[in-house]
Amino acid sequence: MNSSADYPSKTERIDLALRAGAVADVAGIVAEMSAGDIAYLISSSPPDFRDLLLELLEPEQEALVVNELPDDLRNATLIDREPEALAGLVEQLDDDDVADILHELPDDVSGQVLAIMDEQYRQRIQTVLSYPDNVAGGLMSTDTITIRADLTFDVVLRYLRRHVELPPSTDNLIVVNRADRFVGLLPIRTVVVSDPAVSVREMMITDQAAIEVDTPATEVARRFERNDWVSAPVVDGRGKLLGRITIDDVVDVIKEEADHSLTSLAGLAEEDTFATVWQSAPRRGIWLAINLATAMLASSVISLFQGTIEKVVALAVLMPIVASMGGIAGTQSLTILIRAMAMGHINDRNQLWLVGRESLIGLLNGIVWASVAAIAAAWWFEDMTLGLIIAGAMLLNLITAGVTGAGLPLMLEKLKIDPAVAGGVLVTTVTDVVGFLTFLGLATAFYG
């Protein structure tokens, strides 16, 4: 693995070589880099540069690099390849990585690739493919080393030496019974330092539960994070061992969840930073259209009070303040709730408490900032009534923002709608409508 110190220098050397047109020099530098560094370089480059780097990869590098690319970029790289070429490429990878790739390709292409593989390998891949990629079964690898509890460490060591290499991230050997049901784990470090005459049963760990095959990927990631696991066995409903999940797969889940949450809050669908204009514009346009519709709804509320605004022009100046304060407060509450959901902190016990807390925060901030806004408006327009109106409207809108920002994501989750995607637009719409309605409604009552 290249160190963080020499990686930038290689990037600079590649840039200089490209400017000089020295493609052969670029190929030489790329050949010295790790698959992860090359994938990072490709994903952080414009399309033309990406194509050139992919063409320069050695055959033995290509599979590892493609596997490290983000899903969209990886799929775009593989979609036009012949099934024979795809089969040759994916057979160099772990079966969970192969399943990830085949999950994303069209069904007919995946079927052709599977048909080319040998029977034993195909069955292993199909075992993983039979589960969605967002549950433990879709994350697992079937490449495991299992032992029986009645063996001695001496026998275990001789068994391990028969392997050319151990599967990646093997920190434990999985102990099973004669029916292949999970019994416990035996750490490799325990085998190395213990008396060879000791039996597996005496030293194995039995207090780490296996992960059931239909456990959601996000829950798998939370268990790894809480327990500092490197790997964990996966079992079916009867306790039969199916495979194992390793930390590299969990890191991918965490990264994908973080990317999803961040981009969804802006109404984007994990957009590639270097996607073309024609790819990005339609994706963003959908949410701009939704936002336009909600903005028109807020504007229609304003139009109901057109007569009042014409009489008191200062209202037009102060309206955005009320809506903006509510929008910020609502987004703050929404972000806190979505983060808590992503971390698995939300349950039936604490939902009402959180809604109540956000409401009280809205009330407290409403009292403080409504008072500030009232004093500023009264001094600015020399009208105490106007100050009282904006104070009342801001107080009500900040309380609404707290209730909506906390309650809306909980409601959306029960409706099976992603709060990260839909929450921002809905919270902003509610706070805009309530802000305009209360501000202009109070103004009409006082000045009508």
pLDDT tens digit sequence for 52-73: 888 888 877 888 888 888 877 8
Q: pLDDT digits over 229-265, tens only?
A: 999 999 999 999 999 999 988 988 887 776 666 666 5
> Are residues 144 and 244 in contact, defined by beta-carbon separation less than 8 angstroms?
yes
Predicted TM-score (pTM) of the model is 0.68
Residue 5's pLDDT is: 46
> Are residues 322 and 435 in contact, defined by beta-carbon separation less than 8 angstroms?
yes
Residue 2's pLDDT is: 47
What domains are defined for the chain?
A: 7-136 (1.25.60.10), 146-264 (3.10.580.10), 277-447 (1.10.357.20)
Q: pLDDT digits over 355-391, tens only?
A: 999 999 999 999 999 999 999 999 998 889 999 999 9
Helix (H, G, I), strand (E, B) or coil at 350: coil
The C-alpha R_g of the chain, in whole angstroms, comes to 29
Closest CA to 435 of 383, 379, 378, 394: 394
Tell whether the model's pLDDT for residue 276 goes beyond 70: no
Of residues 202 and 312, which shows the higher confidence score?
202
Residue 4's pLDDT is: 45
- Mean pLDDT to the nearest integer, 117-138: 86
SS (H, E, C) 242-287: EEEEEHHHHHHHHHHHHHHHHHHCCCCCCCCCCCCHHHHHHHHHHH
- How far, in Å, CA of 145 to CA of 160, rounded? 9
- How far, in Å, CA of 284 to CA of 272, rounded? 12
Contacts of the segment 204-208: beta carbons below 8 A, 24+ positions apart: 204/149, 204/175, 205/172, 208/184, 208/232
